[in-house]
A and B are shown apart, each in its own frame.
Chain A
Amino acid sequence: AQTVTQSQPEMSVQEAETVTLSCTYDTSESDYYLFWYKQPPSRQMILVIRQEAYKQQNATENRFSVNFQKAAKSFSLKISDSQLGDAAMYFCAYRSEDFGNEKLTFGTGTRLTIIP
């Protein structure tokens, strides 16, 4: 079974600075998808960024980018120019597929605080 590990329960960053959230995963598959989701107090999980494992180029979405290290099974999220609205729980997720059945497995999350 796939596992997703987020080793930082909490992180804080000064507004306008850069922060990196860590995620590692365990899998025997060669082709898969990875995601970062943001969960603000409203509880809705919002997709931040997506990475396809067969693509070596790191995904980027505006101020959000990832450092995808396939051999190390590492998938970190970098947030540049942090804003107060970035404060939330961030979850790393792995999409697995087994005989046509697919599902997302989530890590335990990192609570990000933005310091004004």
Chain B
Amino acid sequence: EAGVAQSPRYKIIEKRQSVAFWCNPISGHATLYWYQQILGQGPKLLIQFQNNGVVDDSQLPKDRFSAERLKGVDSTLKIQPAKLEDSAVYLCASSSGQGTYGYTFGSGTRLTVV
């Protein structure tokens, strides 16, 4: 089966600019997650979707971050305006059920804010 697809692979932007990341989960996976991984740290959950509804966005900085999952398939994560501390790898993952068998991750987008 195809894996979780993410694009772009790398992105460099200036602070205060906007940026968007795209994720296509494994076909049939109802649950989709966006994680932020700052250098030297473990991934931190930003938002979780079940189909096209938000399950958990408690750690999403809503003043600048937004995410959507139209039609319960692809998802986009947007940052506007970006800050220097947003420099990180943004990982998308999906699971077919309740995640008891772990998640399948994409290769992430490395964002550098200068």
Q: Are A35 and B56 within 8 A (Cβ)? A: no
In the complex, number of A-B residue pairs with CB atoms less than 8 Å apart: 63
Query: Complex formed: what's the CA distance from A112 to B42 in Å?
Result: 15
Collect the chain A residues with CB atoms within 8 Å of residue B42's CB. 4, 91, 93, 106-109
Q: At the interface, yes or no: B61 with Cβ under 8 Å from chain A?
A: no
Main secondary structure of the interface of A (DSSP, over half): strand
Interface residues on B, range: 20 to 34
Q: Which residue of A lies closest to B102 (CB)?
A: A47
Inter-chain contacts of A35 with B (CB < 8 A)? 102
- Give the CA-CA distance A108 to B38 in the complex, in Å: 10
B102 CB contacts on chain A under 8 angstroms = 35, 37, 47, 50, 93, 104
Q: B91 contacts which chain A residues (CB < 8 A)?
A: 43, 45
If A47-B102, A95-B99, A101-B48 touch, does A108 touch B107 (CB 8 Å cutoff)? no
Binding site for A on B (CB under 8 A): 3, 33, 40-45, 48, 55-56, 89, 91, 93, 98-108, 110
List 7 A-B pairs, Cβ < 8 Å: A37-B105, A44-B106, A44-B108, A47-B103, A91-B42, A102-B99, A103-B45
